[in-house]
Amino acid sequence: MKLFQWISKLLGYLIYLPNIMPLTALFKSEIFPWAFLYSLRKDTRLTTGYAVFLIYILISALLGVSGLSSILGISRAFFALVNASLIFFLLIHIKKEEYTFLCKAFEFVFAANVVLCLVQFLGLFPVFLEPVFEIFIDRFTAGIFGGGRGVAGLFAEPSYASLSIHYYFAFFMLNRRVNPKSLFGAVLIIGMILFDLFIIRSVTGLVMIFIYFVSLQKRADILRGGAVLLALVVGLIYFIGPTKNAPRSISTAYDFFKYGEYKDPQPWLLEQSGFRFVSVWAAYQYGLKHPLGSGIGNWGPASIEAMDDVGVNASAMSFFATAAGSEYMGVRPTSYAAGLMLETGVVGLFLFFIAFGPFVVRKKLYEDVHTRSLSLFFLFNIFALGSIGDPIPFIFFAFAYRNTQDE
């Protein structure tokens, strides 16, 4: 019994760190199913809508099994969808004692990531420990990634770190009930922005900062707040963008205006996003043409077909030019909803709406500034930019929803 409790508590920390693997050499996926393991409990109560969604994707997975060789790939694709979303239905029902523990575990993980990022950025991480961390974290590095990119803490790369750190910060503000318009709140927000821009240095961070800033505004103040944010961003781009060691996010924005990319942004967006933009765009289009999708686990060949159909040559993107000789290669879309459209079609996405719609439309979520931030993050990551198997958006959306119930 004590062993089970110890494992449960350990998982309570690991659910916030999906990029940590038992052994990266054995588990090639970038996201390990800690959240799924934590959710394997009798008090995980599923709604009818989610149960129907699960049954549908399970049938889709089973229909794709053609032999032993296909089982592993199909299983990984299926559990990626489940790992991310199942934990939501546990966290909205857990008792206060467990919720308090998870909040404490979260703050420890948040602090550990911030400290490690600073240590990596300052070049203070012991180099002899790098191979040890590489056993558990894919692409872990003791220092800065280079090429204008920053550090990643306990994540596989800066983009993962940036996305998660913003959830961490937004939930910290909620959990501690920090008024973002107070002096203390303003100092924390400015510190978070500077940390993201100059330490993590991911382009993803710019988008997350914008969403967070918008979420802080009341409807009547959005234009004024947007003008202030625009002025700050323009100032950063103008003064820091041309410098030699400018963060990748700022230098990328600087080049966008310097070389007139804003006149026709699609080629620039395709290039800067790697495979992200084209994979998501193509997946949504594919799901409309194929209502049942390609089948769970068949995302590889389906994504190639989908990207070919959008009419953009792979040679137009350096990612595919370098990795696949200017041909499209199979990639899984970088958003949960787009992944559903590719593998399960518009039917799968509709069932997902049925499962999560009643929670997303809860009015109280958008009345409070803190829960509004987490909810907008969730919607953006699910529909535009995220990782299919990543439970972080669902975990913190569950916490946001839970806080509206506790009021």
Average pLDDT over residues 367-392: 94
Start-to-end CA distance of the chain, whole Å, equals 34
Amino acid 259: pLDDT: 62
CB count within 10 Å of CB 258 equals 12
DSSP 146: B
Q: Identify which has the larger pLDDT, 114 or 261.
A: 114
Phi and psi, residue 64, nearest 5°: -90, -5
Cα 172 to chain centroid distance, Å, stands at 17
Structure tokens at 311: 């009419």
- Percent of the chain predicted with pLDDT > 70: 87
Please answer whether residues 371 and 143 qualify as being in contact, where contact means their C-beta atoms are separated by less than 8 angstroms. Answer: no
CB count within 10 Å of CB 198 equals 16
Please answer whether residues 351 and 56 qualify as being in contact, where contact means their C-beta atoms are separated by less than 8 angstroms. Answer: yes
pLDDT tens digit sequence for 19-45: 999 876 566 677 889 999 999 988 889
Please answer whether residues 77 and 343 qualify as being in contact, where contact means their C-beta atoms are separated by less than 8 angstroms. Answer: yes
Question: Is residue 1 pLDDT above 60, yes or no?
Answer: no
**Which residues on adjacent β-strands are paired with residue 149?**
146
Mean pLDDT for the chain?
87
Residue type, 24: T
Residue type, 199: I
CB count within 10 Å of CB 44 equals 16
Residue type, 104: K
Give the CA dihedral 116, 102, 175, 113, nearest 10 degrees: 10
Amino acid 55: pLDDT: 97
Residue type, 294: S
Question: Is residue 209 pLDDT above 70, yes or no?
Answer: yes
Structure tokens at 231: 């002025």
Amino acid 219: pLDDT: 67
pLDDT tens digit sequence for 249-285: 677 777 776 666 656 666 666 666 677 888 899 999 9
Please answer whether residues 31 and 389 qualify as being in contact, where contact means their C-beta atoms are separated by less than 8 angstroms. Answer: yes
287: pLDDT confidence band, cut at 50, 70 and 90? very high
